[in-house]
Chains A and B, each alone.
Chain A
Amino acid sequence: MVTPPKTIEVQNLRLAYGPKEVIHGISFDVRRHEILGVIGPAQSGKTSLLRCINRTIEFTPGVHLQGAVRVDGEDVQKVRDVFALRRKIGMVAPLPVGLPLTIYDNVAFAPRCSGMRSRSELDGLVEQCLRQAALWDEVKDRLKTLGTKLSGGQQQRLTIARALSHQPEILCLDEFSIAIDPVTTMRIEEVLKELRKEMTIILVTNLVQQARRLADRTMFLWNGEIVELDRSDVVFSEQPRDRRTYEYVNGIFG
């Protein structure tokens, strides 16, 4: 089998908040157009890892970062245009953050920031992203209402639409289902199955079964170290490589 090209390479990444190291030198790759599931108990460094990839980590005072994160072969610490890097990556936070704007403006925000002015172009893009996020039919008649007026699940899909609006190559989702109901979760999972055809997805999830359902490969991150990273059918089998994986996946600890 030919290994697909790598989109993200993480090499010996160490991250510390002040004196407290929370990621202890991990290395892994994310392949093009795969869904990489990341599971692990709270506080194991999943969110921090995502923030290293799009470099929003640098807004936290006192962080120290060693090692390298490469996106498309380019070290993110050394990229010339960090804004372009961030536009390459769509980020969905655990709790939906509706910017205090209308539904339309939320989705049109990033395109406008990168200079798209034409009304028809924006209209088209907004519709496309809302459709991709399976939200279009529910909001198409009230694009001008505030995004915060939507229900939690709708808001989460709105943030997904917004993350898609700058046409990223990589989509990172951080425990997106933490505050939404199972039905909406399943709808978004369907959305992700569609999106995987077009982009690379890192799916950090608190629901072990979600990784099993969606991820091509799954990484078990625990206390800032990779316990196991393998094809999902291996990780979720009766005999993963590490005993702790089996115990975590089956709810014996964690």
Chain B
Amino acid sequence: MTDLAPSPAVRTRPPGRPRWAVLGEQLLEWIIRLCGISAILFVLGIFYFVFAKAAPILVSGDFSLREFLFSTQWYPTSEVNVRYGTLALTVGTLAVTVLAMLLAVPFGLGAAVFVSEFCGPRLKEILKVVIELLAAIPSVVWGFIGLTVMKTVIEKTTGAAVGVNVLNGGIILALMSVPIIVSIGEDALKAVPDSYREAAIALGTTRWQLVCRVLLPAAKTGLLAAVLLGVGRAIGETMAVLMATGHAVNIPHSLLDPVRTLTATIAAELGEAPEDSNHYRVLFLIGVLLFTITFVINLTADLVIRGIRKK
């Protein structure tokens, strides 16, 4: 402690780390930076690939973007009267997704609140395992359930002629989205510091007030992420909706009408369409449309959250 003699020696050798450590750190930094950028590159790359496949149709003479977006006539393989109108498909996708979200968001967030705040530790463990299991069920299996169990239930209870329709697809998609919403929503609630809970409880709040006035607002960004991932799964889902919605090009007028979605159309027709035919390109353009829809939804949600935060 009192020996000050070595201090000049220390001064002559500046406190530095070996060269390889510094270089290694820089390398690591670059690798991490690359990982971060790669996410953007992948998204752009996918968009470019899909768009490039679709682009030729946009400039070709016998195609109108207006018709593509706003016509309900989808006759891609007709000999005489080819029509590439996707409005019915878009409406079908939105109908099924909106119904699925109307069911899944309240149910999923409610379950997340229950798991995180209201149930005991034992039940919590069990529920989390079950929810993870649910999330791992492949979509074909869900489609199969829609096609068999749900179909009969809907035909029996509503008297609908065909049990594969908006209602069926919406319920199946809701069941698929709920586990995602629950597990991510629960993480978001768990991330709220306990000190908030203690502070609010010490102020005499009941459990419900604690949830509604403190936890939900504090966790709102994470909860929105949960909902968005749920929406993403619902919009992007192909196999289950292909099987459960009836696959009929049709603007639905009730929950019991069959519809067809954008994704299911791509999945069902891409294999048949000759490469670089107009049909093939239009299917890719549908991919671009899907991209745009999800992008707009994410952007809106982001802006909404930002608005809330500013307020």
Contact = CB atoms under 8 A, between A and B. Distances in A.
B205 A113 contact: yes
Nearest to B202: A91
Interface string A140-177: 00000000000000000001001101100000000000
B288 interface: no
B301 interface: no
B203 A110 contact: yes
A162 B218 contact: no
B198 A84 contact: no
A186 interface: no
Given A83-B206, A109-B213, A99 B201 contact: no
A84 B195 CA distance: 21
A114 B198 contact: no
A59 interface: yes
B190 to A, nearest CB: 15
B218 A100 contact: yes
Contacts of A85: 204
Given A99-B214, A100-B218, A87 B204 contact: yes
A93 interface: yes
B204 A100 contact: no
A54 interface: yes
Contacts of B209: 113
Interface of A: 54, 56, 59, 61, 83-87, 89, 91, 93, 95, 97, 99-101, 109-110, 112-114, 159, 162-163, 165-166
Contact of A166 (B197, B204, B214): B204
Nearest to B121: A61
B199 A97 contact: yes
Contacts of B201: 56, 59, 86
Nearest to B217: A100
Interface string B181-200: 00000000000000111111
10 contacts: A85-B204, A97-B195, A99-B200, A100-B218, A109-B200, A109-B203, A112-B213, A113-B209, A113-B213, A166-B203
Given A109-B213, A110-B204, 5 more contacts: A59-B197, A87-B204, A99-B214, A113-B203, A163-B203
Contacts of A99: 196, 199-200, 214, 218
Given A59-B198, A93-B199, A83 B218 contact: no
Most chain A CB atoms below 10 A, which of B195, B202, B213, B214: B202
A62 B4 CA distance: 53
A161 to B, nearest CB: 12
B203 A162 contact: yes
Contacts of A54: 202
